[in-house]
Amino acid sequence: MDMDRQQGRSAGKVYLIGAGPGAADLITVRGARLLGEAQVVLHDALVSPEMLAWCPQAELIEVGKRCGQRSTAQLFINRQIVDLATKHERVVRLKGGDPMLFGRADEELQALEAAGIEYEVVPGITAALAAASAIGRPLTKRGVSRSVAFATQAKAADAIDVEADVKADTIVYYMGRDQAANIAAQLIARGKPASTPAWVVEAATTAKQRSHQFTLSQMAAGEAARWMDPVQPSLLMIGEALGTRATELVESERAA
């Protein structure tokens, strides 16, 4: 045991790594390398077994959060990370998507800073970018969309607030499945055309990926909620840039 550990000081370093949207080979090269060097990996519930194959040498600790299911308290996760960093040289906190977007990274970084523990953040591909690629629809489009909002909504229906969201040309809602109809209705009430394309993309980049296009009015009527799988992670993607391209319409007419 080295002198730092004998004196109770941390000699370890923590890496907050983005696992990406789901597919194991969409993690960054740096992220995969660091996983292969870690002694312990604290990972989200949605991180796949294929992703964890990058770190066969590590102790694995699941600390995930799943909507509607029993979850690990964030304060406990913070304490775990700090404690493990005093016992190991390389600790990885593996988060789905990108750590810095809806990943509660700020709370974990504050805990590490308060404990004087060195850390590094390794970005990952966030689900919105992966889903846009999966359905072949850009989030921005010249002359149509020059702004994108990433948003989440609280569970309670009376807590929904789309006032800021509606100003963006394209809107992507994370964890919005249970409020899809309410979100769409409020967007329409605040001026978004009822005909606006509204996609649902589930489990992007995985073998279980599914996607379907609706209009905003169809989503407000509950059609998207009836189509969605209550188990799979999903995104709501709304905006004119996500509409059917002219070339696709031509191909569709030729096929008919």
Residue numbers annotated as active site: 44, 65
Nearest to 104 by CA among 152, 62, 149, 148: 152
Contact at 8 Å (CB) between 19 and 91?
no
82-87 long-range Cβ contacts below 8 angstroms, 24+ apart: 82/10, 82/111, 82/112, 82/115, 82/117, 84/12, 84/40, 84/42, 85/10, 85/12, 85/13, 85/14, 85/112, 85/115, 85/117, 86/5, 86/8, 86/9, 86/10, 86/11, 86/12, 87/5, 87/12
β-strand 59-62 against 90-95: which pairing, if any? unpaired
Measure the CA–CA gap between 170 and 147, rounded to whole angstroms: 6
Q: Which residues pair with 97 in a beta bridge?
A: 20
